[in-house]
């Protein structure tokens, strides 16, 4: 099969599917992306495109997002036209809707079926915006959020079928979208993500490696920001360290912002929160690790006695399911997208997002009485294996949906 993937940040949510197809061999795979640093790889061709236009910072707020996404779409279409000129006609196109890259591909290949990834419908209420009163929505939020959905509305007409990774995310889209959407996660490699009682990570400050013998608790987010509850974690930190004098916090994440408004403070939200908690924290037991290689991230979660996952109602992080696959004992925020994957007391513990002291109490209890909560990690892994395993649960459904969109002779079989 000739398959065109489209995602501005290769490989994005297509990491597992793209890798699996490439390993099968025999397919003509092309990945269209903005990334210029992707090395050549066997069994696939990486093609870069440049956005056609970037709106000025002073652009009209209600159209700025559409302008940027339309520029992405036009840039992707120009690259697609070049591919067509070379004789490449895909049998199917898979791409992320959110940045507008699919918008004009039907103008290049009118008869090629498109399967679009619908990640999130921008909500003025019920989602991330305005959830936390500490970061209130502006009076303009209902207008700017709905204006952002111009990309979703344009692309539900562009695609032949849509895909959303969780039921909560799919439910953010209007009823008019639902008949075109199917729900299935991208998939977690539970065969590779397993517990390891011997995991160890060197900490330079200590001059030695930490292991499961150390009382380690962890927090991870792509960036340390309010959308992922970083401020809540930091306010819980003094209470945890006071209750558990031998505990150490390992914190993974960058110092930028992935979602929402940037901090006005020099040094971002991390510096802001460090100043707030100040002398109440024993900083010798707090380790900010930044963004770490994937293998190191795995080992950190494997040796963690308690992993903290916080989020407002928003897109569910892969890292939560990955931590569950590694049998982490998890304390997470009690919000809709998390409740879809964690059942309180059975596969993890849920806590009020707005209550740092309650979070601290649960984490401290897990650290103090690990035997009491020893059942949570294995149960979490069983749940992820049963519902989110890439090879046994997610891949067959994605291939079924893809196969239904193309001519019969092109159908791909698992294990082919």
Tens digits of residue pLDDT in 122-147: 999 899 999 999 999 989 999 999 99
Spatial separation of the C-alpha atoms in residues 224 and 235, rounded to whole Å: 13
* Cα 121 to Cα 129, 236, 334, 336, distances in angstroms: 12, 31, 21, 15
Distance CA 210, CA 254 (A): 22
Tokens of 385: 């294996």
Rounded CA separation 308/221 (Å) = 10
Look at strands 114-117 and 92-96 and give their pairing.
Answer: parallel
CA–CA dist 10, 401 (Å, integer): 22
**pLDDT above 70 coverage of the chain, percent:** 98
What pLDDT shows up at residue 266?
A: 84
Pairing of strands 330-333, 306-309: parallel
Q: Examine the pLDDT at 412 and tell me if it is beyond 80.
A: no
pLDDT in tens, 190-249: 999 999 999 999 998 888 999 999 999 999 999 999 999 999 999 999 999 999 999 999
Residue 377 to residues 55, 135, 228, 331, 397, Cα–Cα distance (Å): 47, 33, 22, 11, 27
pLDDT digits (tens, 9 = 90+) for 249-281: 999 999 888 888 888 888 889 999 999 999 999
In tens, the pLDDT along 309-354 reads: 999 999 999 999 999 999 999 999 999 999 999 999 999 999 999 9
| Contact present, 38 and 11 (Cβ < 8 Å) | no
Condensed to tens digits (0 to 9), the pLDDT of residues 389-404 reads 999 999 999 999 999 9
CA gap 346, 376 in Å, rounded? 6
Of all residues in the chain, the percent with pLDDT exceeding 90 is 88
The pTM of this model reads: 0.94
CATH code at 2-187+389-410: 3.40.50.2000
Tokens of 404: 């239904």
β-strands 92-96, 45-48 pairing: unpaired
SS (H, E, C) the chain: CEEEEECCCCCHHHHHHHHHHHHHCCCEEEEEECCCCCCCECCEEEEECCCCCCCCCCCCHHHHHHHHHHHHHHHHHHHHHHHHHCCCCCCEEEEECCCCCCCCHHHCCCCCCEEEECCCCCCCCCCCCCCCCCCCCCCCHHHHHHHHCHHHHHHHHHCCEEEECCHHHHHCCCHHHHCCEEECCCCECCCCCCCCCCCCEEECCCCEEECCCCEEEEEEEEECCHHHCHHHHHHHHHHHHHHCCCEEEEEEEECCCCCCCCCCCCCHHHHHHHHHHHHHCCHHHEEEEECCCHHHHHHHHHHCCEEEECCCCCCCCHHHHHHHHCCCCEEEECCHHHHCCCCECCCEEEECCCCHHHHHHHHHHHHHCHHHHCCHHHHHHHHHHHHHEHHHHHHHHHHHHHHCCCCHHHCCCCCC
Q: Which two tokens stand for residue 55?
A: 């709106």
Distance, in Å, from the CA atom of 51 to the CA atom of 103, rounded to the nearest integer, reads 13
Q: Element (H or E) spanning 47, and its range?
A: strand 45-48
Are 224 and 230 in contact by the 8 Å Cβ rule? The answer is: yes
Instruction: Give the domain 201-387 fold.
Output: Rossmann fold (3.40.50)
pLDDT grade for 95, boundaries at 50, 70 and 90? very high
CATH 3.40.50.2000 range(s) for the chain read: 2-187+389-410, 201-387
Structure confidence at residue 263 (pLDDT):
85
pLDDT the model gives residue 414: 65
Are 239 and 356 spatial neighbours (Cβ–Cβ below 8 Å)?
Answer: yes
Q: Where are the alpha helices (DSSP H) in 6-111?
A: 15-24, 61-85
Task: Specify burial of residue 264 (Cβ count, 10 A radius: 0-12, 13-18, 19+).
Answer: exposed
Task: Enumerate long-range contacts of 279-283, CB under 8 Å, 24 or more apart.
Answer: 280/238, 281/237, 281/238, 281/241, 282/241
Return the higher-pLDDT residue of 58 and 93: 93
pLDDT, the chain, mean? 95
Question: Is the per-residue pLDDT at 75 higher than 80?
Answer: yes
């Amino acid at each position: 099969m000739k398959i065109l993937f489209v995602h501005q940040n290769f490989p994005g949510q297509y990491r597992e599917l793209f890798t699996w197809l490439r390993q099968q061999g025999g397919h003509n795979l092309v990945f269209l992306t903005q990334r210029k640093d992707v090395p050549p790889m066997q069994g696939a061709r990486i093609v870069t495109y440049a956005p056609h236009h970037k709106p000025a910072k002073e652009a009209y707020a209600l159209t700025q997002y559409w302008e940027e996404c339309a520029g992405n779409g036009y840039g992707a279409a120009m690259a697609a036209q070049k591919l067509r000129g070379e004789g490449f006609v895909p049998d199917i196109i898979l791409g992320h809707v959110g940045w507008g890259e699919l918008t004009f591909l039907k103008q290049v290949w009118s008869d090629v079926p498109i399967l679009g990834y619908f990640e999130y419908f921008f909500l003025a209420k019920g989602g991330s915006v305005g959830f936390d009163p500490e970061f209130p929505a502006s009076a303009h939020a209902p207008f700017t959020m709905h204006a952002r959905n111009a990309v979703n509305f344009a692309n539900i007409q562009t695609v032949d079928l849509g895909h959303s990774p969780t039921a909560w995310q799919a439910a953010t889209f209007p009823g008019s979208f639902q008949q075109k959407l199917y729900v299935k996660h991208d998939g977690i490699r539970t065969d590779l993500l397993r517990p390891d009682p011997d995991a160890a990570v060197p900490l330079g400050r200590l001059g030695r490696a930490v292991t499961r013998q150390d009382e380690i608790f962890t927090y991870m987010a792509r960036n340390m920001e309010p959308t992922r509850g970083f401020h809540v974690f930091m306010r819980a930190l003094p209470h945890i360290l006071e209750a558990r004098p031998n505990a150490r916090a390992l914190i993974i994440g960058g110092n930028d912002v992935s979602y929402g408004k940037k901090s006005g403070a020099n040094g971002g939200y991390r510096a802001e929160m460090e100043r707030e908690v100040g002398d109440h924290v024993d900083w010798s037991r707090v380790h900010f690790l930044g963004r770490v290689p994937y293998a190191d991230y795995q080992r950190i979660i494997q040796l963690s006695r308690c992993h903290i996952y916080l989020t407002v109602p928003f897109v569910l992080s892969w890292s939560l399911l990955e931590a569950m696959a590694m049998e982490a004992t998890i304390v997470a925020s009690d919000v809709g997208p998390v409740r879809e994957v964690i059942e309180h007391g059975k596969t993890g513990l849920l806590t009020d997002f707005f209550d740092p002291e309650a979070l601290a109490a649960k984490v401290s209890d897990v650290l103090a009485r690990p035997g009491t909560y020893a059942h949570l990690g294995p149960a979490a892994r069983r749940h992820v294996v049963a519902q989110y395993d890439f090879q046994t649960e997610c891949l067959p459904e994605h291939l079924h949906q893809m196969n239904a969109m193309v001519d019969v002779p092109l159908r791909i079989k698992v294990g082919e």
